[in-house]
Structure formats: C-alpha cells, structure tokens
C-alpha cells in the first residue's frame, strides 16, 4: 500500500518559488507498482516506428509497462497493435523482436492467428468436445484498446481511457515533425539495436535526457577528447559535431544559446544552437530542406534537440541521432532499448558519419553514456535516504521560466506551455516540472491529496 | 621470416589478455598496428550480428589505433566517473585456431569469457563470445591488424569498455 499523500512526494508551490521532489518516488517499490498501473498501463506509451514493420505481414514486438505487445501489419497494409499473449493459456505468441509472418502459431498448443490478429485455427477443435458457449467467445489476439500512428511513430495503450493521440501529443507533435520531415521518404532505424540496463529508476533517464546542467561536469573526458582530436587534425579520428559548435561551452559568447520548452502531458524539449554545420550528416540536405520547409524549420532541424514524449520515448539529436525507449523493470532497475534513427535515402557518407558519431557518444560501450548511467546508479544509492527526503534539482531556471513560447518557438509556429531561454550556463531544471506535473495528474487518484 | 604457428598466435592472444587484465594499456596498444581495426558488431536480430559497419550499427568500430589511444586516455583521465575505480577483469581465451598463416599475415579464431567484478556497483558479470584476430608481421614482430569481437550476451549491464571484452 502506498501511504503517501501527493504533497509528500511532489512539493509544487509556484507562488513560493518552490519545486521539490521526494527521493521516495525513485526508490519505493509500491510507488513503482502504481506508476506501472497509472502511467505505463494507464495511458499512451511509445511502441516503435512504422518502418519496423514495413511490408505486409511484417511484425515487431514491444512492451507497454509489463505487458508484451505485438505490432503487426496485415495483408492489406494496416498496422495493428495486440497483446502478445495467446487467448488459450497466455503464452507469448510471437517469439522474436521482429519478423514476417502471415500466420503466427502459438508454440504451446498451436492455436494460430493471422497478421490481423484473427484466430485462424484451434488445433483439433472438432475433437475437443467444447461446450457451445466456447464459440461465443472471441479467440482472436486481444487488440490494444488504443493504437495510433503519428507520422510513423506508433503509440498504444492497454487502457481505453485515453485522449486521442493528437491531443495527447499536442504541440509536441511538431517536434516529431522535425524528425519525420528530414527526408521526404521518412525515417528508419539503422540495422542493429543496442540494449543496456542500469540499476536505477526509470525517471533518472527521463530527466538526464533533458538535463543541460550535467554536460560539462559528467562528460569532461569526452569534451577534452574532442579538443585533442580537433587539434591533432588526424584523418582517422572519429569526427563529432560537438567540435564544430560551442553553444554548450560555459564561456560561449552570446546571450541565447538554447533553452527549454515544456508541454502539457509531460513532454519536454531542451535545445541548443548548432547552426548549419558540415559536422551534421544532414548537411547534404540543408538546401533542399530549406526549400521544402522554409529556413526557420530547416534551422531547427539542425539545432541540438533532446525531446521526451512522456513517459517512454526520447529522441536525442546532437552527436548523431538516437531513438531511445525506456522500459522500467523495477524501482531500481531500467532497460533501455536504443537505435540510431536516420532519414531514409541519405548518402553513404552521411550515414557513415551518423553511425560513427553515434557509437562514440551514445552507446553504453561509447565514451559519454556510461558517465550518465553510472551517475544514475550513484543517485539511486543516495535515494535510499529519508533523512532529508527532498531533492533540490528542480530549481535552476525558476526565475527565467515563462508562460508560453518565445521568438524561437514562434518562427516554427510552436506553442509550448512554458519556455526558458538560456545562455550557456543556465542549465534549466524547470522543464522537469512538466514531467512531475504530468506524473502527479496520473497518480493523484491513487494517493491522498 | 617465417609463418606464425598456433603456439605463437596463442602467445600473442594471451599477452593481449594479460595486458588488459593488468591495466598495462600501453603494452596493449603496442600490440596493435597503427592502422588497426577494432570492431564489436551490434546484433541485427536474435541470431545475426551486423555485417557492414558503414551502413549498420556496431557497439564499437574504430579504424586506426589512435582511436584506441583515445579510449585509453579517457579511461586514465580521471575525468570519467564510469572509468574509475577500474573494474577488475580476467580474460579467459580458449579454442584458439589458426585459420590461415603465411610469412606476412595470419588469421585466428578463438573463444573468450571476460569475468568482470565492479566493486563500486557490487556487480559481477561475464561477457562472452568469439574473437577473430588478423595478425600482421611488422619487421619480425607479429601485431594485431584487426580484431573483431562477437559479443554473444549483448544486453550491457550499464557499461562496456575496451577492457571488458
Ligand atoms: S497457450 Fe497458445 S495455444 Fe495454448
Ligand atoms: Fe549525458
């Protein structure tokens, strides 16, 4: 049983300039169970991209909270989302991460289903001496109560009680457009996925993606290496976009180097100015994208952008481009499924540059991500304490946060709920408020007020 | 000059293992040619690793020893929380086969298990898989011109660095 009142977990008093989060929400297994029920199994969750099931009868498997999911494209080309569990005795039906199957045969007693989830056969049905009532039940795979696509991004819910996807994404959908519109053909996942785990709460990953404050303190080894590589000018060194831009450097010139946007339902973006640089694989398309989408939107495609669609999708476009899916395992354990997401049809050179930058920066075997995940584990250890339960990491930017957008959002017609304009040193933390306000809304019925 | 035999190839592989296990990373780097390739492919699906590092993702892919030097620099820099304190590792290498060999070059395949103990996280893990080494004779010294590491258990518990595989 959760014995907390909401106010003991999230201390949100804008008028007093206070926003605090209790260590308990990262650490308490009872709260984790509630999060699964209320957030992951009670609303929209990202499943994958349409291109993962490109052709008729292609499928891939995913998760909504603890529930295994099958996404399948039927013979007519329609995508469907199903619980990947046999109506007979519950066995997982599809066994692999992806594949192509006109018919899915359950490995346990061979009930079979077509690519639209319809039951095709029940083994030895006639000889089975079923009661008449059996035929009155559907033997199809359970369809997700909600399943929708936005520009190739697929979301599902095991609860029917959700707003339409467009309403849930709201203005943040325009930030998915900045990804989807990088090629007229859409986006794809580069073959080869990387999965890693860390012994810490899922919200550590949620926050870190949007945490501008940590870059220079958690990644100095990476930053120094970039410096050394730039000076050595060696042909064999892996190139990185970070070398070509200085928005993140604490002594960067100029007032506005980036900032954050927050949206309803817990979606957030933090961003920085990159400019149109040939260190980005998108450079080859710079002119075409400006012609097609206008310069303002093109320039935004070249900005550093870390986008979170609450609760489990993150798209990081900085050094290369990563799509991450957060899968919480327990209060103190999380699995990350990660891919390099890329515009279809880019040149071989651009793709190679994208992949090399990706491996060096994003992989758990690279030179940046491990310094994040080890820090998550350090935090998780510290969360055990209730001596002083409140965390203070939600305070930077408090006096800079504004209702609505700013000049940078309006040029692309984006209307966030709140925004912060930042110089290179601000390291806004108010965008996390959006996560925890959405969190509080979803959890409130289960906690005392 | 003469072709390397299996014993000679094993010796080189075991010396590489000892250098990694003991943190003698300069010795480790010295075993590689300047243009060496170091490749840990990712997995495309349950049964197949990626084949083309230019169009598919790898866990690690470097061409040129200087990129390995960067990794060593970072691990020693004191500027990476993930790299210090250094986990304890032991590389166990078995099933060494000499696939081809002449005066100038040779190829081997072998199996590995790297036992890793990370004191800070209280985590013990075994990374295991297969190595393919391409060896080259450089003025009488046999060096590693390419190493491909097929990591079979590719769900990474938090960190994988060059010394953990
Ligand atoms: S559990 Fe699927 S056929 Fe029995
Ligand atoms: Fe980071």
What token pair was written down for A140? 């199809």
B29-70 residue pLDDT tens: 999 999 999 999 999 999 999 999 999 999 999 999 999 999
What token pair was written down for A203? 């919200």
Nearest CA in chain B to A352: B54
Q: What residues of A are in contact with residue B87 (Cβ under 8 Å)?
A: none
Q: Is the CB of A94 under 6 A from ligand 1?
A: no
Ligand 1 atom closest to residue A86's alpha carbon, by position in its atom list: 2
Ligand 2 being an ion, which residues bring their Cβ within 5 A of it? A 372
Domain(s) of CATH 2.102.10.10: residues in chain A: 45-150
A258-290 residue pLDDT tens: 999 999 999 999 999 888 988 899 999 999 999
What token pair was written down for A372? 């994040």
Quickly state the pLDDT bin for A445 (edges 50, 70, 90). confident
Domain(s) of CATH 3.90.380.10: residues in chain A: 169-443
Span from the CA of A260 to the centroid of ligand 2 (angstroms)? 16
Nearest Cα residue to A40 out of A310, A375, A350:
A310
- Pairwise CA distance, residues B67 & A313, whole Å: 31
% of chain A residues with pLDDT over 90: 89
For chain A, the average pLDDT equals 95
Rg (CA), chain A: 23
DSSP B71-140: HHHHHHSS--GGGSSPPEEEEEEEEEEEEEE-SSEEEEEEEEEEEEEETTTTEEEEEEEEEEEEEEEETT
Quickly state the pLDDT bin for A449 (edges 50, 70, 90). low
Q: Is the CB of A109 under 6 A from ligand 1?
A: yes
Rounded alpha-carbon distances, angstroms, from residue A291 to A11, A169, A287, A295, A342: 47, 27, 6, 7, 20
Of A200-204, A246-250, A322-326, least confident by mean pLDDT is A246-250
A412-434 residue pLDDT tens: 999 999 999 998 899 999 999 99
> Which single residue is written with the structure tokens 């190595």?
B131
Q: Does A384 touch chain B (CB under 8 A)?
A: no
- Pairwise CA distance, residues A358 & A368, whole Å: 10
CA A193 to chain B, closest CA, distance in angstroms equals 6
CA A191 to chain B, closest CA, distance in angstroms equals 5
Q: What is the largest distance, in Å, between two alpha-carbon atoms of chain B?
A: 49
Rounded alpha-carbon distances, angstroms, from residue A94 to A83, A97, A253, B42: 10, 8, 54, 22
CA B87 to chain A, closest CA, distance in angstroms equals 13
Beta bridge mates, B90: B115
Supply the ipTM of this predicted assembly: 0.97
Going by C-beta distance under 8 Å and a sequence separation of 6 or more, which residues neighbour residue A197?
A329, A333, A334, A335, A336, B155, B156, B157, B158
CATH of A45-150, one of 3.30.499.10, 2.102.10.10, 2.30.30.700, 3.20.190.10: 2.102.10.10
Nearest CA in chain A to B34: A236
Cβ contacts of A86-90, under 8 Å, gap ≥ 24: A86/A111, A86/A141, A87/A111, A87/A119, A87/A138, A87/A139, A87/A140, A87/A141, A87/A142, A88/A122, A88/A139
Closest C-alpha residue for ligand 1 atom 3: A109
A198-212 residue pLDDT tens: 999 999 999 999 999
Of A120-134, A176-190, A248-262, B29-43, least confident by mean pLDDT is A248-262
B1 has a pLDDT exceeding 70: no
Segment 121-160 of chain A within 8 Å of chain B by CB: none
Q: Is the CB of A113 under 6 A from ligand 1?
A: no
Per DSSP, the three-state class of A29 is helix
Nearest Cα residue to A212 out of A181, A158, A248:
A248
Q: What residues of B are in contact with residue A351 (Cβ under 8 Å)?
A: 54-55
- Is residue A356 within 8 Å of A212, Cβ to Cβ? no
Span from the CA of A218 to the centroid of ligand 2 (angstroms)? 7
Q: Report the interhelical angle of A295-302 vs A173-180 (nearest 10°).
A: 90
Q: What residues of A are in contact with residue B77 (Cβ under 8 Å)?
A: 220-221, 224
Span from the CA of B112 to the centroid of ligand 2 (angstroms)? 31
Quickly state the pLDDT bin for A447 (edges 50, 70, 90). confident
Per DSSP, the three-state class of A302 is helix
pTM of structure: 0.96
Q: What residues of B are in contact with residue A60 (Cβ under 8 Å)?
A: none
Q: Is the CB of A119 under 6 A from ligand 1?
A: no
- Pairwise CA distance, residues A152 & A49, whole Å: 5
CATH of B6-151, one of 3.10.450.50, 3.40.50.300, 3.30.70.20, 3.40.50.620: 3.10.450.50
A253 has a pLDDT exceeding 80: no
DSSP state of A323: E
CATH classification code of A169-443: 3.90.380.10
- Pairwise CA distance, residues A21 & A206, whole Å: 14
CA B126 to chain A, closest CA, distance in angstroms equals 15
> To 10 degrees, the CA torsion angle through A314, A403, A169, A97?
10
Segment 236-295 of chain A within 8 Å of chain B by CB: 236-238
A327-369 residue pLDDT tens: 999 999 999 999 999 999 999 999 999 999 999 999 999 999 9
What token pair was written down for A180? 């989807």
CB pairs under 8 A between A and B: 141
């Amino acid at each position: 049983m959760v014995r907390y009142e909401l106010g003991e977990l999230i201390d949100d008093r804008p008028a007093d300039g206070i926003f605090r989060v209790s260590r308990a929400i990262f650490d308490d297994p009872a709260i984790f169970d509630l999060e699964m029920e209320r957030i992951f199994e009670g609303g929209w969750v990202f499943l994958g991209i349409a291109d993962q099931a490109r052709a008729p009868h292609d499928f891939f498997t995913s998760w909504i909270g603890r529930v295994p999911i099958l996404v399948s494209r039927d013979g007519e080309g329609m995508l469907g989302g199903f619980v990947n569990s046999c109506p007979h005795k519950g066995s997982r039906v599809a066994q692999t991460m992806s594949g192509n199957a006109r018919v899915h045969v359950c490995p346990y007693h061979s009930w079979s289903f077509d690519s639209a989830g319809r039951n095709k056969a029940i083994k030895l049905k006639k000889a089975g001496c079923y009661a008449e009532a059996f035929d009155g039940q559907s033997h199809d795979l359970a369809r997700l109560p909600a399943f929708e696509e936005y520009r190739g991004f697929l979301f599902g819910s095991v609860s029917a009680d959700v707003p339409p996807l467009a309403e849930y994404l709201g203005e943040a959908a325009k930030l998915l457009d900045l990804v989807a519109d990088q090629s007229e053909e859409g986006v794809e996942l580069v073959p080869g996925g990387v999965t890693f785990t860390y012994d810490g709460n899922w919200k550590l990953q949620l926050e870190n993606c949007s945490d501008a404050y940590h870059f220079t303190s958690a990644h100095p080894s990476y930053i120094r290496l970039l410096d050394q590589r730039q000076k050595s000018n060696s042909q064999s060194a892996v190139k990185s976009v970070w070398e070509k831009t200085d928005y993140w450097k604490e002594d960067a010139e100029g007032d506005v180097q980036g900032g954050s946007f927050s949206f309803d339902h817990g979606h957030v973006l933090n961003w920085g100015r990159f400019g149109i640089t040939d260190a980005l694989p998108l450079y080859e398309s710079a002119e075409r994208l400006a012609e097609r989408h206008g310069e303002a939107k093109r320039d935004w495609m070249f900005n550093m952008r870390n986008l979170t669609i609450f609760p489990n999708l993150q798209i990081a476009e900085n050094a290369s481009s990563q799509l991450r899916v957060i899968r919480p395992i327990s209060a103190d354990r999380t699995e990350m499924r990660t891919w390099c997401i890329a515009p279809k049809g880019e040149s071989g050179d651009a793709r190679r540059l994208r992949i090399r930058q990706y491996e060096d920066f994003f992989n758990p075997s690279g030179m940046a991500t491990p310094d994040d995940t080890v820090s998550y584990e350090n935090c998780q250890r510290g969360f055990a304490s209730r001596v002083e339960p409140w965390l203070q990491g939600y305070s930077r930017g408090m006096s800079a946060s504004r209702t609505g957008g700013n000049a940078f959002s309006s040029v692309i017609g984006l209307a966030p709920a709140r925004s912060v304009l930042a110089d290179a040193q601000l390291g806004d933390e108010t965008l996390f408020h959006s996560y925890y306000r959405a969190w509080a809304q979803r959890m409130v019925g289960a906690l005392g007020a | 000059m003469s072709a390397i035999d299996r014993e000679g190839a094993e010796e080189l592989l075991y010396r590489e293992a000892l250098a990694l296990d003991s943190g003698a990373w300069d010795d480790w780097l010295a075993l590689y040619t300047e243009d060496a390739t170091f490749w840990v492919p990712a997995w495309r699906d349950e049964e197949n690793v990626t084949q083309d590092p230019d169009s598919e993702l790898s866990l690690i892919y470097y061409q040129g020893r200087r990129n390995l030097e960067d990794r060593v620099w970072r691990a020693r820099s004191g500027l990476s929380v993930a790299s210090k304190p250094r986990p304890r590792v032991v590389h166990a290498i078995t099933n060494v086969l000499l696939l081809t060999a002449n005066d100038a070059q040779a190829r081997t395949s072998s199996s590995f298990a790297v036992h890793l103990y990370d004191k800070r996280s209280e985590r013990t893990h075994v990374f295991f898989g297969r190595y393919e080494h391409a060896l080259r004779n450089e003025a009488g010294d046999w060096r590693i011109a390419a190493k491909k590491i097929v990591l079979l258990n590719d769900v990474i518990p938090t960190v994988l660095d060059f010394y953990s595989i």
